[in-house]
Amino acid sequence: MLPRLALATLIGTCSLFSVAEACTAPKMKTTESGFIFKVVGGSDKVEAKKAPGGADAAFTLDLLAPYFVICEEDQFYKVTDLPAETVEQAEKGKVGYVLKDQVHPWPTREALNFSAVAFTGDRPEIVAWDDHDMLQKFLESGNINLGKPAYKEDLQSTLKRERATRPYPVLSSKTEKLRGTVDKRVFDVLLPAALPPETKVVIDTSKDNKDATLKKLNEAMTSATFAIAFDATGSMAPFAGKVAQDIKTAFESLPAEVQKASRIGFVFFRDEGDDEKYVIIKPQTVQDAVAALASAAKPEYMKGGGDPPEPVLDAVYIAHHLFPWAESAGADQSGGGRRILIAVLSDDAKPTTLGKIHNGVPPGIEPGKIASDLLTDSIPVISVQAGPTTGPNLVSVLTTIGEGSGGQFIEWGKGDDEERRRRVTGALAAQLTSRAEKTYAEGKKDLSKLEFDYRGYATIPLAVLDGEKLNRLRAAGIKFNVDPGKGGVLIREGFVLENPDLLEPQIQVEKRTLERLINLFAALGVTGVDVNAMKESAAQALAAIAGEDYDPKENIAVTIKKRLGIQFRTKLLEFNLEYLAGLTRDERLALTRRIQDASKTMTQFFDAHLEELDKSPAVWMPVSQLP
């Protein structure tokens, strides 16, 4: 009975949770400093629900847009897109509930915004680190290879996008030393990491180009064309049937879909003195080709040849350059794809090409050059010794063209048919596997410019430089609703070095906050009054910012940072009001002139953006406008 009761209790608890009461609050949730608590979505796929724990979506959070927290309910925040001072005003915007672990707090007013230089080509890419220890290695050495970044901008994509771009939120910042000498500000920021889809690509080109590229990759991955250069001289007669059976066994061991999609052709070759020096048979189905080889590998066809060394290098050259590889793709588009060459030789090999069995073959080409050219064109050779006789050049020539092209040399061995067929089959399977991997890599290069559309987002996503990290981020992205098969943008914490020409530090400031700062600077910048009058005026301005309970002994800059979340660039206000009494007249005049200059700069910004300040709850102000 007890287990049933426990289960009923659990079900009841879950039911209550699924219909949790919406939270209410008399005022917006604030930080310790007193300004509204805001968050950003953990990806471009995070949804706000109509009710906490509900299934119905209210809206999807815009990428890197701030959302302001009204209140919290268990593991949910109730958020709005409207930066209002009262709950009543805030609820006139888009309102919904988000899981706390699907958003990131944005505790500062600050962000890194993209300057006009960001949209010109003559600049380095934005890079960022995900690990401070790795960043420290770069700062200590100045060598990017010793402290490698984790993220890098796709500059060509940035140059094609619109200039209106959402900034990167700053969590904190501090000054560090580059190479122990140069001050560099390091920003701890929220960065958008691009997660291209695992299994498909997002294309931003014409449909024709897309279809052609995908067709090319599909053909390459599901098909192969084999050219078999087969010694057809008399010395092959005792062994041709066995080698033909080896090849037949190897091909029949391939997966059915590969057999169906692949094609096999032949270059039968004899010696320079024979009437029929070579025969090229165009690519045909695997079934037809192995049947044709079985018919050809009979003593009545294996004839001719003079001295034991045969022109196998000429035959391989013909197979490489003159064989009709392109005719492998039939009307059904099967065939084509990967290219693999099988060279079969008995007795011995000529040490270089002769140029006498086909006029298109240059004489004197050595095995190393033949292999190098094949490797360049990604055509591996499986070279097969047919029979026990090993002439002086056979092993060296077949080894060079096999292994030097990225393929393999298979010796005759002890004549054990089963063991040799296993080696031929294994070599063929290994080459198909290897070629599939290489073709995939080559196809990825073809598709790299099409993989991920970085331009379709409200900010500039950064590419993940390490493949293992990309896979880890894909796994992490599932928590933020990013489907690995579809891709998206995941928000991660990272570190960016100051580069004000490219990424300009800005703060989001309200009209009232800016007015209070200007009033404070005006009070501190008054000349021609005694110090007590200045202190009283400044105290009133500080009280308007910090409240009546502010500590007059506290550093003014510290008070501003704590109460307004604004950090000044200089130490201009790093004093308390009592400090003023200890200044000489000249010192006070020098200080007030600097304060007046700072006040003038902020006032000019205020006047220039007055209309925007009246219409918007807050505006972006360059940190360079602050003292």
Q: Is the pLDDT of residue 372 over 60?
A: yes
Say what the pLDDT of residue 443 is.
45
Q: What is the pLDDT of residues 272-300, one digit of tens each?
A: 888 888 999 999 988 888 888 888 877 77
What mean pLDDT do residues 103-122 have? Answer: 85
Tokens representing 286 are 């695997």
Task: Name the band, by pLDDT with cuts 50, 70 and 90, for residue 452.
Answer: low
Tokens representing 431 are 């080459």
Q: What is the pLDDT of residues 386-415, one digit of tens each?
A: 888 888 999 999 999 999 998 899 888 776
Say if strands 103-105 and 38-41 run parallel, antiparallel, or are unpaired.
antiparallel
Tokens representing 593 are 């002139």
The sheet carrying 67-73 orders its strands as 57-60, 47-49, 95-99, 76-80, 67-73, 38-41, 103-105
Rounded Cα distance between 419 and 428, Å, is: 14
Task: Tell me the average pLDDT of the chain.
Answer: 80
Rg (CA), the chain: 37
Rounded Cα distance between 410 and 426, Å, is: 10
Say what the pLDDT of residue 493 is.
95
Q: What is the pLDDT of residues 75-102, one digit of tens each?
A: 999 999 988 778 888 889 999 999 999 9
Say what the pLDDT of residue 67 is.
95
What mean pLDDT do residues 598-611 have? Answer: 88
Say what the pLDDT of residue 255 is.
72
Contacts of 6 (CB under 8 A, 6+ apart): none
What mean pLDDT do residues 93-112 have? Answer: 93
What mean pLDDT do residues 591-608 have? Answer: 87
Say if strands 348-349 and 309-310 run parallel, antiparallel, or are unpaired.
parallel
Task: Name the band, by pLDDT with cuts 50, 70 and 90, for residue 191.
Answer: very high
Task: Name the band, by pLDDT with cuts 50, 70 and 90, for residue 350.
Answer: very high
Strand partners, 339: 225
Say what the pLDDT of residue 483 is.
86
Q: Using CB atoms within 10 A of its CB, is residue 489 exposed (0-12), middle (13-18) or buried (19+)?
A: buried
Rounded Cα distance between 525 and 513, Å, is: 18
Q: Is the pLDDT of residue 533 over 50?
A: yes
Is the model more confident about 185 or about 241?
A: 185
User: 606: closest CA among 534, 522, 541, 546?
Assistant: 522
How many Cβ atoms from other residues are within 10 Å of residue 17's Cβ?
11
Query: How far apart, in Å, are the Cα atoms of 469 and each of 66, 150, 431, 463?
Result: 27, 8, 29, 11
Say what the pLDDT of residue 447 is.
39
The full length of the chain comes to 627
What mean pLDDT do residues 518-533 have? Answer: 73
Asked whether the beta carbons of 191 and 128 are under 8 A apart, the reply is: yes
Q: Using CB atoms within 10 A of its CB, is residue 345 exposed (0-12), middle (13-18) or buried (19+)?
A: buried
Task: Name the band, by pLDDT with cuts 50, 70 and 90, for residue 65.
Answer: very high
Most confident by average pLDDT, 116-130, 312-326, 512-526: 312-326
What mean pLDDT do residues 323-343 have? Answer: 68
DSSP state of 427: H
Strand partners, 263: 225, 285
Instruction: Say whether 60 sits in a helix, a strand or coil.
Output: strand
Q: What is the pLDDT of residues 404-451, one digit of tens each?
A: 998 899 888 776 777 777 887 777 777 765 554 554 454 444 434 334
How many Cβ atoms from other residues are within 10 Å of residue 572's Cβ?
18
* pLDDT above 90 coverage of the chain, percent: 27
Is the model more confident about 391 or about 212?
A: 391
Q: What is the pLDDT of residues 154-185, one digit of tens each?
A: 887 787 777 667 899 999 999 899 988 888 89
Asked whether the beta carbons of 340 and 435 are under 8 A apart, the reply is: yes
Contacts of 300 (CB under 8 A, 6+ apart): none
What mean pLDDT do residues 509-513 have? Answer: 85
Say what the pLDDT of residue 38 is.
93
Contacts of 291 (CB under 8 A, 6+ apart): none
Task: Name the band, by pLDDT with cuts 50, 70 and 90, for residue 462.
Answer: confident
Query: How far apart, in Å, are the Cα atoms of 406 and each of 190, 340, 399, 402, 450?
Result: 45, 10, 11, 7, 30
What mean pLDDT do residues 113-135 have? Answer: 85
Say what the pLDDT of residue 321 is.
94
Asked whether the beta carbons of 189 and 113 are under 8 A apart, the reply is: no
Contacts of 466 (CB under 8 A, 6+ apart): 150
